[in-house]
Amino acid sequence: MRESGEPYISHPIEVACILTSLKMDQETIIAGILHDTVEDTNTTIEEIESQFGTQIANIVNGVTKLSKFELSSLAEKQTENFKKLLISAASDIRVLIIKLADRLHNMRTLKFKKSITRKQFIAKETLDIYSPLAERIGITAIKDEMQEIAFMELYPDIYNSIKNRLKNLYESSEEIITSINSKLLELTKELDINCTISGRLKTPYSIWEKMNVRNISFDQLSDIMAFRIIVNTIPQCCQVLGIIHRNYLVVPGRFRDYISTPKIIVTNLFILVLSDH
């Protein structure tokens, strides 16, 4: 049984559900269900290989090795080195994705842990290692959820304060987001480009991070809202960027051109196998 009182099997099933939501391939989802079997039972890699095949056995073996390596490396408290080693240790990026899904579900059930010290250690470890790793791989949804739960656990008063400010702001800014979305849609129609546009308030953790880095208060933040325009090609991206610049002033020193200098994403180092649907 887990500390939540649920049967332990609920954990690997939830990990598989997270992997399914990421549209991972069949082998990854099966390996997600099996990811703790070697570490927590008498099952061997050879048994997994005989029943599920070499590919699934290799992925499970990779997750098992990563877990053992994780325990020894964390003792050294070399966070940045550990993140690099996590990446280099995984010959298949699916191993890392399963590890992230595993951590995400553990974060979702963190509240059931009885030891406050252990809860805070897991939350800090998640902020320092797993959420940056999720960002580097390009899985923003997992990164955001991990940060949200960890932030809430480590700094509950600050989290609640920012959350309440955002709630009040959302009530007054919902129309603003809708209005800007409509304006952006009009501008892109001038270019005859099909695109998807969305607007949102930024997460409490990202706001807190900006406040710390820039040493400013909540009221001094100028980028609490974010808008995303998704197009099909890089030339279209340049066209849309051009029309945005003609209609909105750039804040000096704040604009970053990720078209000419893209963010480094780990997925370009591996073959990521996704399902056909």
The DSSP line for 46-93 is HHHHHHH-HHHHHHHHHHHHHHHHHHHHHTTT-HHHHHHHHHHH-SSH
Q: Name the pLDDT band for 271 (thresholds 50, 70, 90).
A: very low
Return the active site residues. 39-40
List, for residues 190-215, the tens digit of each pLDDT value.
888 888 998 888 888 988 888 888 88
Buried b vs exposed e over 9-21: b needs ≥16 C-beta within 10 Å? eebbebbbebbee
At 253 the pLDDT is 79
Report if pTM > 0.95: no
User: What is the three-class DSSP state of 16?
Assistant: helix
Q: Per residue in 135-180, pLDDT tens?
A: 888 898 999 999 999 999 999 999 998 888 887 777 777 778 888 8
pLDDT at 77 exceeding the cut of 80? no
Give which of 31, 144, 15, 22 is closest to 92, Cα–Cα. 31
For residue 85, the model assigns a pLDDT of 61
**pLDDT category of residue 273 using cuts at 50, 70 and 90:** very low
Q: 242: part of which helix (H) or strand (E)? A: helix 234-247
Residue 264: pLDDT band with limits 50, 70, 90: low
- Report the alpha-carbon distance of residue 168 to residue 188 in Å, rounded: 31
For residue 21, pLDDT over 50 is answered with yes
User: Which pLDDT score is estimated for 151?
Assistant: 95
Q: Is 218 exposed, middle or buried (0-12, 13-18, 19+ CB in 10 A)?
A: middle
The DSSP line for 133-186 is: HHHHHT-HHHHHHHHHHHHHHH-HHHHHHHHHHHHHHHHHHHHHHHHHHHHHHH
Which of 72-86, 232-246, 260-274 tops mean pLDDT? 232-246
Q: What six digits make up the tokens of 221?
A: 């933040």
The one-character DSSP state at 24 is B
Please give the average per-residue pLDDT across 114-119, as a whole number: 90
